[in-house]
Amino acid sequence: SPSPPVLLLLLLFLLLLRFGLQDGGVTPICPPLLRPPPGPSPPLLLLLTFSSSPPPLLPPPLRPSPGPILVRFLWRRNRRPPFLVLDRFLEQTQAHPDQVFLVFDTHTFTYRDADRTSNRVAHALRSEPGFRTGATVALLMGNEPAFMFTWLALAKLGCPVALLNQHIRTRSLLHCFNCSRATVLLASVGMELREAVEEVWPTLSQQGVTVLLMGGSQQGVTILPLRGVHSTWDKVDQAPDTPVPRSLRSHMTFNSPAVYIYTSGTTGLPKAAVVTQNRLLTALAVLSSNGVSARDVLYLNLPLYHTAGFIIGFIGSIETGSTIVLKRKFSASQFWDDCRKHRVTVIQYIGEVMRYLCSTPKRHDDQDHSVRLAIGNGIRAEVWREFLQRFGNIHIREFYASTEGNIGFVNYAGKIGAIGRVNFLHLKLFPFTLIKYDTERDEPVRDKNGLCVESKKGETGLLVSMITDIAPFVGYTQNEEQTERKRLRDVLKKGDMYFNSGDLMRLDQDNFIYFQDRVGDTFRWKGENVATTEVSDILTMNKCLKEASVYGVQVPGHEGRIGMAAVTLTDGVEFDGVHLYDHVVRYLPSYARPYFIRIQDTVAVTGTFKQMKVKLVEEGFDPARIQEPVYVLDHTENSYVRLSHHVYSCITSGHIRL
């Protein structure tokens, strides 16, 4: 992808200096913080939302100049050799070696510790047969210090890194590994990942892949013996901590891939979205543009293999010099106690996290904490209000972005329910529009000239963003078909090209933009994208199922949609709830397992053999509306059991947790 033209960036800077500081003009704002540290304001790609009346409970927002971050971005972008994210980490290490970089369980690591440990990891990896400097490496690890140290080591060795979801198994795991073209798999093998590695090891060994175990007891992970695979962490302890020669990464450019982050789409199997070094460099400013500084402590319990945990939490903290408090996973019961213990000031969330926190029993010390900023996406308006009322004056910075997309919004204004606000300058720099979408045909509405029809204000439409030099769409590695599907052509005029976000949005009269829903064959549950085609393929591997149409249904009180499948049975075979339960638990991660199974005589399809899901989605899982048998996933019985009216009522009333 071509780099942003410097003259255009300079022009943007002058425009912001001219208009950005006047109340009557375009006014980009820095996040309104209760105790704001001095620091820079929103960066180039985050100057996307603008001032508005703040919600109740919050003080008036600040309006600092956007200049410092833009100047820093331009300076870094034009340095030679290229200034990459790793260089910022090395800067922080040199300037603040004793600053606490990471806290994990009872372990504390300074920037000096992280730098020296990653040096040892890099030297140890170089000594391993089968490891090549600069080659792509796949990382299969949970939230632990070894994840961060290993990534830093690989960055020092000039290796792109594929961040594998630790919850995927067998077929999906092999697919994700192979599509990244990785030659080495680095895995942290405790009890949770042991079986995953064992299942794929025979296939990987036939492909000549090197599998190394990373982490150890000192990082809170106990390595288990695995036949045919060996640990390299013993070598790490013996390796020197001398700096890794820069020449080993001299081949890296701004257009070089930095990481591959996997996203589920309409194909079913995960796709590897390419995150270039330039995009990662830009992402450095996500936290700093929200007023986060070295005095802050960030609580990171989102998966490091996800964009939110890796780019915003990990990479963002490298820019600010903040301390990261890393947790293996989210725990609502431990959340606030951890925040109090570590004096956390910044938290990350997805919509489910905030709802879980609001669902915990109220305590007298709910507002006894130091948290002042929450940054994330997917929070519903009613949960937003409840969170503020219960936990106090915490500034919620809701944003919208996708791993592979070229458009993003940040709600600096604090407008409850919105993901951002747009204006003339934003539309000029990052042109986008909302177009009418036919949900029945699962395609954009076009006029007689073959062009898309724009939605009016207040109407729901598909978000599409023009692909330009400063807003490129790199696509997916080794998947040109799916990359092309994301390119929408002839949108407003013949020959133009836009990125198809797959998200339905609504723009109100005040130019606030709101997320409405997903389209196509993907829905979100528990903060994860679920690809219906992949789930359908897994289901029909079971001997009792002939066909499966998978879709998401809404459950009162829950964000996103939970999985449901309308299935037909194999001729002469009865439905076996126990066997199907064992099947989905073995082959699907928890968030992708269909919670409801609807038995049908036939699966309805269109004339072009596309499954018709609209009516199925509308009917949901209500047994009063569905004449056919419906089964529900029952973990106490380890089976799918018949859904009764009583169980349905318990689910919809919240008495049964999903």
Tell me the per-residue pLDDT of 374-423, one tens digit each, with 9 for 90 and over.
Answer: 999 989 888 899 999 999 999 999 999 989 999 999 999 999 999 999 98
Rounded to an integer, what distance in angstroms lies between the CA atom of residue 571 and that of residue 576? 13
Residue type (1 letter), 55: P
Count of CB atoms situated within 10 Å of the CB of 560: 22
Average pLDDT over residues 28-34: 30
Phi/psi of residue 565, nearest 5 degrees: -130, 130
Task: Please name which of 215, 211, 221 lies closest in space to residue 153, comparing C-alpha atoms.
Answer: 215
Average pLDDT over residues 420-446: 88
What pLDDT, on a 0 to 100 scale, did the predictor assign at position 261? 97
Report whether pLDDT(75) > 90: no
Collapsed DSSP state (helix, strand, coil) of residue 605: strand
Higher pLDDT pick, 601 / 28: 601
The secondary structure element, H or E, covering residue 619 is helix 614-619
Residue 550, token pair as written in the block: 């998978």
pLDDT tier at 605 (50, 70, 90 boundaries)?
low
Strand 161-163: give its sheet, edge to edge. 230-231, 210-213, 184-187, 137-140, 161-163, 257-263, 271-276
CATH class entry, domain 111-251: alpha beta
pTM metric for this prediction: 0.79
Fold match flag (6-81+277-507 vs 111-251): yes
Q: Are strands 562-569 and 545-553 parallel, antiparallel or unpaired?
A: antiparallel
DSSP state of 30: -
* Residues ≥6 apart with Cβ < 8 Å to 106: none
CATH number of 6-81+277-507, picked from 3.40.50.980, 3.30.300.130, 3.90.650.10, 3.40.50.2300: 3.40.50.980
* Residues ≥6 apart with Cβ < 8 Å to 72: 40
B/e letters for 299-333, b = 16+ CB within 10 Å, e = fewer, are bbbbbbbbbbbbbbbbbbbbbbbbbbbbbeebeee
What pLDDT, on a 0 to 100 scale, did the predictor assign at position 230? 78
pLDDT tier at 636 (50, 70, 90 boundaries)?
very high
Rounded to an integer, what distance in angstroms lies between the CA atom of residue 563 and that of residue 549? 11
Under a CB-based contact definition with an 8 Å cutoff, are residues 439 and 614 in contact? yes
The secondary structure element, H or E, covering residue 101 is strand 100-104
Task: Please name which of 259, 318, 307, 308 lies closest in space to residue 474, comparing C-alpha atoms.
Answer: 259
Residue 51, token pair as written in the block: 């001032």
pLDDT tier at 63 (50, 70, 90 boundaries)?
very low
Lowest average pLDDT, out of 29-43, 226-240, 262-276, 368-382, goes to 29-43
Report whether pLDDT(470) > 70: yes
Task: Please name which of 597, 601, 566 lies closest in space to residue 581, comparing C-alpha atoms.
Answer: 597
Query: Would you list the DSSP string of 395-425?
Result: EEEEEE--SS-S--EE--S--TT-SEE--HH
The secondary structure element, H or E, covering residue 502 is strand 497-507
What is the length of the chain?
658
Rounded to an integer, what distance in angstroms lies between the CA atom of residue 240 and that of residue 119? 7
Task: Please name which of 416, 387, 375, 399 lies closest in space to residue 508, comparing C-alpha atoms.
Answer: 416
Tokens 């943007």 found at = 12
Under a CB-based contact definition with an 8 Å cutoff, are residues 590 and 618 in contact? no
What pLDDT, on a 0 to 100 scale, did the predictor assign at position 440? 63
Interval 165-217: pLDDT, tens: 998 888 889 999 999 999 999 998 676 777 888 889 999 999 999 999 887 54
Residue 205, token pair as written in the block: 């060994």
Collapsed DSSP state (helix, strand, coil) of residue 226: strand
Task: Please name which of 210, 196, 205 lies closest in space to residue 140, comparing C-alpha atoms.
Answer: 196
What pLDDT, on a 0 to 100 scale, did the predictor assign at position 611? 60
Under a CB-based contact definition with an 8 Å cutoff, are residues 416 and 424 in contact? no
Count of CB atoms situated within 10 Å of the CB of 222: 11
Phi/psi of residue 378, nearest 5 degrees: 95, 15
Q: Are strands 346-350 and 373-377 parallel, antiparallel or unpaired?
A: parallel
Rounded to an integer, what distance in angstroms lies between the CA atom of residue 353 and that of residue 502? 23
Gap between the terminal Cα atoms of the chain = 42
Maximum distance among all alpha carbons in the chain? 75
What pLDDT, on a 0 to 100 scale, did the predictor assign at position 35? 31
Rounded to an integer, what distance in angstroms lies between the CA atom of residue 365 and that of residue 253? 50
Higher pLDDT pick, 49 / 535: 535
Count of CB atoms situated within 10 Å of the CB of 590: 12
Under a CB-based contact definition with an 8 Å cutoff, are residues 177 and 165 in contact? no
Report whether pLDDT(12) > 80: no
What pLDDT, on a 0 to 100 scale, did the predictor assign at position 510? 95
Identify the sign of the CA torsion 418, 424, 429, 431: positive
What ranges do the domains of the chain cover? 6-81+277-507, 111-251, 522-653
Rounded to an integer, what distance in angstroms lies between the CA atom of residue 247 and that of residue 25? 48
Give the best-scoring range by mean pLDDT among 239-243, 375-379, 521-525: 239-243
Under a CB-based contact definition with an 8 Å cutoff, are residues 34 and 61 in contact? no
* % of the chain with per-residue pLDDT over 70: 85
**Domain 522-653 belongs to what topology?**
GMP Synthetase; Chain A, domain 3 (3.30.300)
